[in-house]
Chains A and B, each alone.
Chain A
């Protein structure tokens, strides 16, 4: 569309060039975020899977059947806040919860995280931009080494500052892995973008949702296999189960409903 037409259209809609729409849009978005934040914790309590039935109408046979199927393998779930970071936050909490009971796995993972910083600097991330996220992540892992229980972990993950810094570092791990293996991953990126551009637009910014490519990268770089139960409106009575990578035994399971991940037990 020619730019003149856009301006004509703006004039017809009562567009006022002196108004700062930019600010107004951002203020509205902040308000929506705060409303969501007010009614949903970042990581919810462990809840019986039965309650998921109540979220859908009893006549909604597709979802009701799929929830029944899900109950054959799982008993409970935790709701993760819908803020576009749910995959990373759910993964982070679910995995660290396992680490509370597995100190040797914790040491392995700490080593992965420790060495990842230099890898990222090698890829061109300025060190001052990753330093704080890295040290926050290590700080939390050091808390897990000490006497940390599920309640304390839940507290850490529900503290917006800590929690978001953990999410940022997981995003950076994904970005680093994709960029390091760009020969391979470039084949999966649409829109003629380079892997680096994809990472800057779809991985590094907070709130950008995750797809198969992000999951593949995070499970590969962390060495933590993940199972995803896909529950959508497609035909069939059961959920679709995918394991990343498919030849490993998953350490944790996430429930995917279109646009969102929760944590399954």
Chain B
């Protein structure tokens, strides 16, 4: 069975290259190591993150896709579902039962038929619609809920920074 994770990751990379979803680019950091990917995610339109391009790292376990990868933004991003250190905390990155945030039972979960593409699409939705019920960054959740204007200002400066302005 050795090599099955690698085979799957190569297939996913090929798929993402042939049919890239809008606003997402992803692939191995270098082709010697398929277990470490970089992704660039465009801030969704009509949201406070519009216009930004956010880099993130995906780290895959040796038993992928039985277990999900981990994802971490490599830029500053102030968001309820992203830890201060950049780690992404959303339900699709967890198997059911693996429930640190008490996700809703209807939330999308990790399974071997999920994929990098599905994760990245979920992250785009997460940017558009933060889930402040399962907050990883409590401060960001509070600001999102109580002072939307301030949240938007921080997001706008993150956007400008992400494109080097």
Contact = CB atoms under 8 A, between A and B. Distances in A.
Interface of A: 3, 7, 10, 17-18, 20-26, 29, 84, 125-126, 128-133, 136, 159, 161-162, 164-165, 168, 172, 191, 193, 197, 200-202, 204-208
Contact of A125 (B100, B110, B113): B113
A21 B83 CA distance: 10
Q: Is the interface of A mostly helix, strand, loop or mixed?
A: helix
A136 B1 contact: yes
A159 B2 CA distance: 11
Contacts of B110: 205
Interface string B84-113: 110101000011111111000110111111
Given A22-B89, A165-B1, A130 B113 contact: yes
B66 interface: yes
Contacts of B109: 200-201, 205
B4 A161 contact: yes
Nearest to A133: B112
A165 B4 contact: yes
Which A-B residue pairs are the 4 nearest by beta carbons? Answer: A161-B1, A204-B111, A205-B111, A25-B100
B141 interface: yes
Given A129-B115, A206-B95, 11 more contacts: A7-B138, A26-B98, A125-B113, A128-B15, A132-B7, A164-B63, A165-B1, A197-B106, A200-B109, A201-B96, A201-B106
Nearest to A29: B98
A172 B105 contact: no
Of the listed residues B65, B96, B113, B114, the one surrounded by the most CB atoms of chain A closer than 10 A to its CB is: B113
B145 interface: yes
Q: Is the interface of B mostly helix, strand, loop or mixed?
A: loop
Given A3-B145, A132-B7, A205 B132 contact: no
A129 B113 contact: yes
A195 B8 CA distance: 27
B103 to A, nearest CB: 11
A58 B8 CA distance: 51
Nearest to B70: A23
A164 B108 contact: no
Interface of B: 1-2, 4, 7-8, 11-12, 14-15, 63, 65-66, 83-85, 87, 89, 94-101, 105-106, 108-115, 132-133, 135-139, 141-142, 145
Given A3-B145, A129-B112, A162-B1, A17 B139 contact: yes
A26 B100 contact: yes
Contacts of A208: 96-97
Contacts of B14: 128
Contact of A206 (B1, B11, B66, B139): B66
Of the listed residues B1, B12, B63, B142, the one surrounded by the most CB atoms of chain A closer than 10 A to its CB is: B1
B105 A128 contact: no
Nearest to B138: A17
6 contacts: A126-B15, A128-B11, A191-B105, A201-B106, A205-B96, A206-B95
B83 A25 contact: no
B82 to A, nearest CB: 11
Of the listed residues A10, A129, A133, A172, the one surrounded by the most CB atoms of chain B closer than 10 A to its CB is: A129
Contacts of B1: 136, 159, 161-162, 165
Nearest to A30: B67
A201 B113 CA distance: 12
A204 B112 contact: yes
